[in-house]
Structure 1
Amino acid sequence: MTVTTGTALAVLTGVLVAACGSPGGAQPQDTATATPAPAQPDPRNLLAARVAVAKDQRYVAAYTLTATGKPPRSILVTIAADRSWRVDIQGGALGGTADVAIANRPDGQYQCPINPANGCIKVAASGKRLPAAIDPRVQYLFVTWLDVLLDRQIPLAVVPADPLAGTSAPCFAVEPGTTALAPPIDPGTFCYSDNGILAAAKLPFGQLMLTGEVMAAPSTISLPGQVVDGSPLPTTAPPPPPPSAKASGTPSVKPSH
């Protein structure tokens, strides 16, 4: 059979329309599926993983505490094998003029003046927060705040932070929830090494930096003095003594005539 030119053109036109598709026809389907981006790790989970390791560590470590307008101070932290602990704080009382140790044993929490040792005064039950007037606060970094960072029921905002100067450990900025009347932790930056040792921290009271090698922990802590009765040293400096009559320019005895 012979196909006319008109018929051939009609057949070719139909093939092209079928190949290209028509507005009302079925469209070709793209069978390729997009690969979802990998989920980013939750910063709070990353921090909690390091804090969990920190809570299991027992050690003796030295730190330097720097604060604006104050000379650097030494901090010595002892977390003993039996979970008792002691934090020696240079300039931790009387406005930076007295060194003290804060120590925690099962029978209580003590403040101990050191250099020279004047005995240890029980200031709180074991594990409890100290009264604000005698609280240097730095000790919470190594004990109480570990539980806060691990507790997912406590509202905290945690984001990665740039490493603090002097350390390469991962750092995290932590902000307590604004609804808390008494925040369970100070806002700041916390940096933990892979083995769970606090490498550095920046908080309202200053910046802490690990110095030297971390040493093995003792079986238990020792107090730097005997337990005695008395009043603990406040963190603030004592008020200056009132000026004497002589110093004020007023004679203490009226001259005789």
Structure 2
Amino acid sequence: MHAHLRATRRTPGALTLLLPTLLAACTAGQPATPPTAAASDPAPAEVDAARDELAALAAAARDRHLTARYTLTGTDGPARDVTVTRAEDGTWRVDVPAGALGGTADVSLATTADGLFQCGLPSAGRPQAASCVRLGDRDDAVPRQLDPRVQHPFTDWLEVLTDRRTPLAVSPATAPPGVAGSCYAVETTSASLNPPLDVGIYCYQPDGTPTYVRAALGALTLAGPPGPAPATAPLAGPVVVAEPLGLDAPSPSDSPSAGTP
């Protein structure tokens, strides 16, 4: 009886000693406290910052009025000089050497107050004088079968880059040697048969001057300091009623000399 009482009196002390051990055993198997959100914030914050920076630069590019020359490389054939004009009144013109007839004809794409035009320029594949064909209204897209794509980085793709609703992933990129400005890698984040722009690298100076674009169309590099912009973008020649020049080389049956002995 006395032994039992003595054991009962010792029980509270024993429990006191056992509690820390039991608590440690219960918590030993639990996973560590997950890291706070701050530990994973830098990458998303950097991506958001890059998206905002690029949108601001693209907006500046939309307001930038200039005449500039770019070197186009990375396509079939030698390097070509592309001339870009963004006029004070918002009209534009982009001259694309070897931009039609399988690379044998030079073309110019332009908008004026009267609409969207393609102009054939004198070249090896088209020796006659420059003339222009109306393709549609000023805000219409160039038909796919006529589209050399070189004009997009200076026209409608700027609107895509400024629209935060467009599903794009943007991250900082290293500028190629000799290229000034800030560069960004751009990818689309949704599967589409008609993506809003080409994925690639886009570089801009702080004033919105595009300095480099590398995309499916090739690489466009600013070839020198931009010049002043005209009041409005001039067409390369008179407007005529004719068929525009397609991208593909004409077949032998389309040649004026076809069937001639």
Question: TM-score per shorter chain, which class?
Answer: 0.7 to 0.9
Q: How does 1:1-257 map to 2 (within 5 A)?
A: 40-41=45-46, 42=48, 43-115=50-122, 116-240=128-252
Deviations 1:111-140 (A, max 9, x none): 001124331100122122111110011111
Shift of 1:179: 2.9
Unaligned 5+ segments in structure 1 are 1-22, 24-35, 247-251, 253-257
Shift of 1:181: 3.6
Shift of 1:56: 1.1
Structure 2-normalised TM-score?
Answer: 0.75
Shift of 1:44: 0.6
Distance 1:81 1:68, change over 3 A: closer
Shift of 1:62: 0.4
Percent of pairs with identical residues: 43
Structure-2 separation of matches of 1:224 and 1:106: 15
Q: Flag the structure with higher helix content.
A: 2
Q: Is the 8 A contact 1:166 1:209 kept in 2?
A: no
Shift of 1:180: 2.8
Structure 1-normalised TM-score?
Answer: 0.76
Moved beyond 3 Å, runs of 4+: 36-41
Distance 1:126 1:188, change over 3 A: same
Shift of 1:145: 0.6
Structure-1 separation of matches of 2:248 and 2:222: 26
SS in 2 for 1:138: coil
Q: Is the 8 A contact 2:111 2:138 kept in 1?
A: yes
Shift of 1:241: 5.0
**Structure label with greater radius of gyration:** 1
Q: 1:12 maps to what in 2?
A: none
Deviations 1:15-37 (A, max 9, x none): xxxxxxxx7xxxxxxxxxxxx78
Deviations 1:187-243 (A, max 9, x none): 11101111110000101121000011200111011111111101000112222459x
Structure-2 separation of matches of 1:233 and 1:99: 9
